[in-house]
Structures are given as C-alpha cells and as structure tokens.
Amino acid sequence: MGTEEGRYRLSADSAEGFLPSDEEIEKWMDSAFGMAKDALENGEVPVGCLMVYNDEVVGKGRNEVNETKNATRHAEMVALDQLLDWCGGCSLDVSSVCERTALYVTVEPCIMCAAALRLLNIPVVVYGCRNERFGGCGSVLDVSSADLPQTGSAFKCVSGHRADEAVEMLKTFYKQENPNGDQKLFFCLSFIVSFPMSPYLIFPHLNIFCLFGIFCSSSLRSFFQLYLVS
Ligand SMILES: [Zn+2]
C-alpha cells in the first residue's frame, strides 16, 4: 500500500494513479459482501456497495428496490446519497471528494449507475461478478471507458474479486423469488388437489357433498398458496 500522497497524487487526471492495493480490495470487498448478504436476507437482489475516501467509508448501501418500491434504489445510489450527506456534514466539495473515492460493489454496476459514477468522476470501481443483463462496464454497454463527450470521466474497473460467490448469491435470490416458478407450482398443486373433487364441482346436483368438495378444494388451495408457494 502506498502513501496517501502516492495513492492520490494523480487521481484527478489519471485513474491509473488511483488503484487500490490487493489488501484494500480484500478488506473493502469483504464489507460490500456483508451488505449483499444483508440484502439477500431482506428479500432484495443481493448487491452491496462501499465508497471509500481517504481510507474511510463515506457511503455504503445495498439494494433497497423492493423495500422502497423504487426501481432506482440500487446499492450504488444508496451509497452515493450517503456520500453526499457526508460531504455536506464535513463541508467538503462533492466533486473533489468523488475524484478521490473508490467504489467497491459485489456486482458490475448497471448502465444507470455506471453513468452516474462517470458523471461524478469516480476514478475507480472494483466489482465482483459481471452483470450480463444490465452491466454498464462492458457486459452490455461500456459506459466506464467509452469516448462520451461531456459526460464526466472514464473510470478504471477492477473486476472478478469473489465473482463466484457473488453469482451464487444472485442465483440463490432468483431461485427464491422467481414468480413464474411460483405460479407454475401453485397451479400444479391446485390441479392435483382439485382433480378428485371435480365431479362435485362440475355436477353440483349430484349430492350435498358438493359443498364439502368446494370447501376442501378452496381450503387446500389456500393452504398451498400460503405455506408452500409464498
Ligand atoms: Zn445500478
């Protein structure tokens, strides 16, 4: 790890002069993964993010999309809001802080977040796994290094740290939350439960047990919906 002066001396002009050491990446990504786990435990897409300035965490966040019902509350946006608050509290200029802040995140930033980081001149982003669906650092678009006039500065990416772990967390989330999978399971179970009752439901005049059939069918449907599918 270099001296503070050494690490930051070129940051305003060159991202190459602002690369975190392996020890820093290990340390801060560990915290970011902690945030991602918290997201997973709270029903959010497991992404955690940290913003570090002068060896101090000035912003951290995890996805809050479901909790806030706001599709833009990605981990990076939550962390950025904290950075803005921190700058306000310390009476520091946001631009000069951002130019010397490294962002650590467990999944490649999406196009929206990558554009925001670029506009704020964040010099370096360290991330875990690629974001094949929405990634803005090369996977879908290359917002990080493309030649885009008047849209902030290109930033350096360091990728792949604990990528397998980040992917596994995403898989765990999507297995739990796949609504199509839930619906298929629900309809399959409902059909199995309803089938023996179907004569009573189709020909209710057969006998008074039709009411019992309807009751059992609806109760069991509710049971499967509440306890097995939800
Ligand atoms: Zn995003």
Per-residue model confidence as pLDDT tens digits over 134-176: 999 999 999 999 999 989 999 999 999 999 999 999 999 999 8
Task: Say which residues have a Cβ less than 8 Å from residue 78's Cβ, sequence separation at least 6.
Answer: 49, 59, 60, 61, 62, 63, 64
Out of 3.30.360.10, 3.40.140.10, 3.40.250.10, 3.30.40.10, the CATH code matching 22-174 is 3.40.140.10
Give yes or no for residue 226 having a pLDDT over 50: no
Residue 230: exposed, middle, or buried by beta-carbon count in 10 A (0-12, 13-18, 19+)? Answer: exposed
Query: Could you tell me the residue ranges of all domains in the chain?
Result: 22-174
Q: Which of 11-20, 50-59, 207-216 is the most confident on average?
A: 50-59
162: left (phi over 0), alpha (psi -120 to 50) or beta: left
To the query of whether residue 76 is one of the catalytic residues in this protein, the response is yes
Task: Say which residues have a Cβ less than 8 Å from residue 152's Cβ, sequence separation at least 6.
Answer: 118, 119, 120, 121
Mind listing the pLDDT tens digit for each residue in 207-216? 444 444 444 4
Give 18's pLDDT tier (boundaries 50, 70, 90). confident
115/145 Cα distance (integer angstroms): 11
Determine the distance separating the centroid of ligand 1 and the alpha carbon of 135, expressed in angstroms.
8
Task: Name the β-bridge partners of 97.
Answer: none
Determine the distance separating the centroid of ligand 1 and the alpha carbon of 73, expressed in angstroms.
8
Determine the distance separating the centroid of ligand 1 and the alpha carbon of 97, expressed in angstroms.
21
